[in-house]
Amino acid sequence: MLGFILWCLLFVVCWPLALLALVLWPLVWLISLPFRLLGIGLEAVFALLKALLMLPARLIGGR
């Protein structure tokens, strides 16, 4: 909702820039999609490494 209000404010102040942002937003989303997927993959790898490093302590019973 906040994004919509900000876009309406931008539309009132500078409508060509607001329309350009409206047209280019799907393109920016498509370009950023691979980076988001890479971030999800890296987060999973780091979670696996943490689980492997903490495994001996969990087996001993450390908290």
Q: Could you give the C-alpha distances from 1 to 5, 6, 8, 58, in angstroms and in order?
A: 6, 9, 11, 44
Q: What is the pLDDT of residue 62?
A: 65
Cα 19 from Cα 13, distance rounded (Å): 12
pTM here is 0.58
* DSSP category for residue 36: H
Q: What is the pLDDT of residue 9?
A: 93
Summarised one tens digit per residue, pLDDT across range 1-34 is: 998 999 899 899 999 999 998 999 999 999 999 9
Kindly state the tokens that stand for 20: 């350009």
